[in-house]
Structure 1
Amino acid sequence: MKEFIFNSTAIFQIIVFLITMYYLILSLCGLYKKEDKGVEKCAPKNTFAMIIAAHNEEMVISNIIESLKDIDYPDELYDIFVVADNCTDNTAKIARECGVDVHERHVPDKRGKGCALEWMFDRIFKMDRKYDAIAIFDADNLVSKNFLKEMNYKLVQGYKVVQGYIDSKNPDDSWITESYSISFWTANRLFQLARSNLGLSNQIGGTGFCMDVEILKKLGWGATCLTEDLEFTCKLVLHGHKVGWAHNAIVYDEKPITLKQSWNQRKRWMKGFADVSSRFFFKLIKKSIKDRSFTALDCAFYTFQPFITLLTCLSAILTLLQNNAEHGLNIFVINYLFSPIIWKIFSILGFLFTPFVMLLEKKLSKVMFVVFAVYSLNMVVFSYVFGSTPTFNQIMIGNLVYLGIFIIGLGTMKNKYFLKLFVWYLLYGIYTLTWVPITIQGIIGKNNKDWNHTKHVRQISIQEVE
């Protein structure tokens, strides 16, 4: 029985390790960023219908319209539409005063962005003016001036759907908004740009993307679940298409400020993920085998993300139990694969990987990166002070003292932002851990498709974020 338990946990841990290595290798491919100057030579060709999905967004609707009107693209080649979906405030009135085409939808029993977009697409298809592509935005977004130039260039290259870079317009509002921002910055670079570099399909991010009208008519939107973007991505890949990536087409998104708002939003995402995974995972696996499509396999892995999160968590718990149990649990742990020094190096590099990506994306100063680099040497310091096998109490006390030294040191500096950023980055670890209970809730409630609206309360102009 002991041998069976050991072998079973060995298989499980190694599978999880291989999945982790896959994502590590994928992310490394995002460190390289090619400068493509072709966009400047590409003449404006495509016409765009710019759709803003809005539900009670009177606070922010004028800012997104202002930024879209200010885009560096011929005015006659794009029109702005606002879908005022089941609004009970002045969203429609304010949007009309801004001089754009407003369509009010009142269908209380079919709420949510996916349903609103489906309704609006049908209206656009019936209009006298025909568009080459449709771009989607949330009401709280702000859009960079070069957005349509970048999208036009990618469409000319042959892509049918293109996702832009989703940035944050309020990273400094709280540790939650900072955590959100870090996760988006790193995902943009390590997974979106990486997939683009490898020729794989990118993932639609819910906002800041455009679709060729003909492919939309052919496949049908039909994506009315809680993560309609992921559902449509799967449909595209199953039909042999790839989502393109425009790293320089930036859309600034307002992130939730509180943990409660964040929890509800991410729970909705996980419900949608679990729902889409249950319907598309095996279809994508089948296509990957039948067509020998690595793109379909990668997309299948992406839809399986909630379950991968839980598998990784379980692997970590097993490792902690084995390493801290007095007599061990007779299970295999991943530590057995490499020597302790390799794991220390891996841990240090792992801690610094995210700050390094932030440095590449110009979201972190070189001074702060050095601070994080010095802080990451805590395990080396502990080994020198406590020996190679420190006790749990020694590790806890050592971490508290080590952290206190850095907080006091940063607190004496004139620029208090360094201290705030340091503390918030450490709290990012807590934000990451909250994905585990959120994922469990999402999987359990995947059939509950009630839409929870995130209220936006900040008026930020495009000039403030660029």
Structure 2
Amino acid sequence: MLDSILLGIQIVLAVIGAYQLLLTFFGWYRRKNKQHHAPQKSFAVLVAAHNEEQVVGALIENLKTLDYPKELYDIFVICDNCTDGTAQIARDHGVYAMERSNPKLRGKGYAIEWMLKELWKMERQYDAIVMFDADNLVSPDYLTHMNDDLCNGSKVIQAYLDTKNPHDSWITAAYATTYWYCNRLWQLPRTNLGLANFLGGTGMCFDTNLLKEMGWGATSLVEDLEFTMRCVQRGVNPIFNYDARVYDEKPLTFKASARQRLRWMQGHFDVARRYFFPLLWQGIKEGNWAKIDSAVYAANVYNLFIGSILTIVLWIDQLLPGVPTFTSLYAFMPAAFALFTVATYAQFPLAMMIEKAPLKSYLYIITYPIFLLSWWPITFYAFFTQNNKQWSHTQHTRVIRLEDMQSKQAS
């Protein structure tokens, strides 16, 4: 009986894996026939910040020099429970410092919800809201691309996420590889197939009327994924803008990375538990593949959790002396599964090649499998601590400006 259950789980996971692999083939090409528009949309640019005096100044300087009419956007720094000089730095740079103090409701989701309520009270109203983290840098044409998408009828837009410090350590290099892979072989295929894209926590743009109608309501540890699910439920599919670039600073050490990823996975379990079955059932009833695909995406955290445990059990079973107790799906078609495994891992260097990653990044391919395997214990621990809603802050130790990053990329 147990053997049949485990075999059934293997079949389900194999089908989902094959589906994900199939999707990647639709990311090998990119359409470029988007209609362009003169600047007309106004933007409230929100910067979420908690004790970010080290990096927020560089982002504000970056945002103030975007290639977009200055009268069409304002910058608001959400100083969320700050105890340092973040608010003063924002004021010194001539932008709005919106100070919030609520130690009981901490985290970006709560800060954004508060900020939007404050924004709706203001005399000036904006056509759209864009959101960044304080450690980001933004391509000069970011708002130009958001203006085009809004004018073309899009309501929720995710920019291309990149890493501003890809070569600081093997950890930052792993994040960079993951970003190249996700942008090219997760996000772009869904764009090409007309499915819903997924918000990435920063570089996000929202139509104001939609936000007023829906409310924010995304206060989990992964507010981006939660809001994605809420949009898809309403039939609003977020889109992906490949040309608008946002550069995110990644943690340098494995310990800091593990803490950040643990928070993501705890939040992912929470969102999957609340949205998977309703979204899946809704998609089946409506014959809406975008909703079914989004439900499958939400369940990925459970796929990883169950798949990692199952793999370890089967490995141990195979290594023990005597006849194996459990049936391994791999034993039925070893050549096919070996090819599938190779193809799965080959996606990462393939994405790097398509995205023209710096040559130096390929040196870290040898350590990338360690990063991938480290998701197993992190996900396992997250499953048993998923009710922990405590938000953790990633410390930043230096300033990187856009021109610094660009000069490194050119060298």
Output the TM-score relative to the length of structure 1.
0.84
**Is 1:95 matched with 2:74?**
no
For the Cα contact (< 8 Å) 1:163–1:245, is it kept in 2? yes
Partner residue in 2 for 1:426: 366
The one of 308, 311, 315 aligned to 1:313: 308
Q: How does 1:80-229 map to 2 (within 5 A)?
A: 80-229=75-224
Distance in 2 between the 1:159 and 1:328 partners?
A: 58
Tell me the equivalent position of 1:452: 392
Distance, in Å, in 2 between the alignment partners of 1:292 and 1:141 is 39
**Distance in structure 1 (CA, Å) of the matches to 2:334 and 2:324:** 20
Find the aligned partners of 2:22 and 2:234 in 1 and give their Cα distance: 27
Instruction: In structure 1, give the amino acid aligned to 2:31.
Output: K
- Structure 1 contact 168–181 (Cα < 8 Å) conserved: yes
- Post-superposition Cα deviations, 1:320-350, rounded to whole Å, max 9, x if no partner, equal 245434333143222234353x455444444
Aligned position for 1:55: 50
Contact 2:79 2:99 in 1 (8 A): yes
Q: How far did 1:17 drift? A: 0.8
Q: Quick one: distance in 1 between partners of 2:282 and 2:201?
A: 24
* Cα distance in 1 for residues equivalent to 2:300 and 2:132: 25
> What is the alpha-carbon distance in structure 1 between the residues aligned to residue 205 and residue 314 of structure 2?
44
Q: In the alignment, which residue of structure 1 is the partner of 2:17?
A: 20
Amino acid at match of 1:356: L
The SS at the match of 1:276 is helix
1:234 alignment partner in structure 2: 229
Q: What is the alpha-carbon distance in structure 2 between the residues aligned to residue 210 and residue 114 of structure 1?
A: 15
Equivalent-residue separation in structure 2 for 1:140 and 1:293 (angstroms): 37
Unaligned ranges ≥5, structure 2:
407-411
Matches within 5 A, 1:73-84: 73-84=68-79
AA in 1 matched with 2:384: I
TM-aligned CA distance change 1:229 to 1:357, over 3 Å: same
The percentage of counterpart residues that share the same residue type is 43
Provide the residue aligned with 2:409 in structure 1.
Answer: none
Q: CA deviation at 1:250?
A: 0.6
Contact persistence 1:47–1:133 (CA under 8 A): yes
Q: Distance in 1 between the 2:243 and 2:260 partners?
A: 26
Q: Distance in 1 between matches of 2:9 and 2:34?
A: 46
Query: How many residues in Structure 1 have an aligned counterpart in Structure 2?
Result: 406
Contact 2:59 2:134 (8 Å CA) reproduced: yes
SS in 1 for 2:307: helix
Query: Do residues 245 (structure 1) and 237 (structure 2) align?
Result: no
Q: Does structure 1 residue 332 correspond to structure 2 residue 327?
A: yes
Residue pair 2:220, 2:267 contacting (<8 A) in 1 also: yes
* Alpha-carbon offset, residue 224 of structure 1: 1.1
Instruction: Find the aligned partners of 1:290 and 1:24 in 2 and give their Cα distance.
Output: 26
Return 53-62 or 344-353, whichever deviates more: 344-353
**Contact 1:134–1:210 under 8 Å retained in 2:** yes
Q: In 2, Cα distance between the equivalents of 1:216 and 1:462?
A: 30
1:48·1:134 contact (CA, 8 Å) conserved in 2?
yes
Runs of 4+ in 1 over 6 A off after TM superposition: none
Contact 1:13–1:332 (CA under 8 A) maintained in structure 2: no
What is the CA–CA distance in structure 2 between the aligned matches of 1:263 and 1:218, rounded to whole Å? 36
Conserved 8 A contact 2:276-2:298: yes
CA distance in 2, matches of 1:334, 1:29: 27
| Separation of aligned partners in 1, 2:33 and 2:61 | 28
Q: Tell me the SS of whatever aligns to 1:29.
A: helix
Contact 1:321 1:329 (C-alpha < 8 Å) held by counterparts: no
Q: Kindly state the Cα deviation for residue 204 of structure 1 after the two structures are TM-superposed.
A: 0.8
Per the TM alignment, residue 238 of structure 1 is displaced from its structure 2 partner at its CA by: 0.8
Structure 2 Cα separation of the partners of residues 208 and 79 of structure 1: 16
Name the structure 2 match of 1:280. Answer: 275
2:334 and 2:394 map into 1 onto residues whose CA distance is 47
SS at match of 1:171: coil
Q: Is the 8 A contact 2:181 2:347 kept in 1?
A: no
Specify the code of the residue in structure 2 equivalent to 1:127. Answer: M
Which structure would you say has the larger Rg?
A: 1
Query: Which whole-Å CA distance do the structure 1 matches of 2:293 and 2:66 have between them?
Result: 34
- Which secondary structure state, in structure 2, belongs to the residue aligned with residue 280 of structure 1? helix
Change (3 A) 1:328 1:151: farther
Residues in 1 aligned to 2:34 and 2:218: alpha-carbon distance in whole angstroms: 35
Root mean square deviation of aligned Cα: 1.7
Q: Give the match's secondary structure for 1:103.
A: strand
Structure-1 separation of matches of 2:223 and 2:345: 33
* CA distance in 2 between partners of 1:22 and 1:240 (Å): 23
* Selected match of 1:440 from 380, 392, 396: 380
Tell me the CA shift for residue 318 of structure 1: 4.3
How far apart, CA to CA, are the structure 1 residues paired with 2:383 and 2:340?
A: 31
Mapped partners of 1:54, 1:443: distance in 2? 28
Q: TM-score, normalised by structure 2?
A: 0.94
Residues of 2 paired with 1:158 and 1:443: CA distance? 39
Change (3 A) 1:235 1:349: closer
Question: Match of 1:298?
Answer: 293
Residues 129, 432 of structure 1: alpha-carbon distance in 2 compared, 3 angstrom cutoff? same
- In the alignment, is residue 359 of structure 1 matched against residue 353 of structure 2? yes
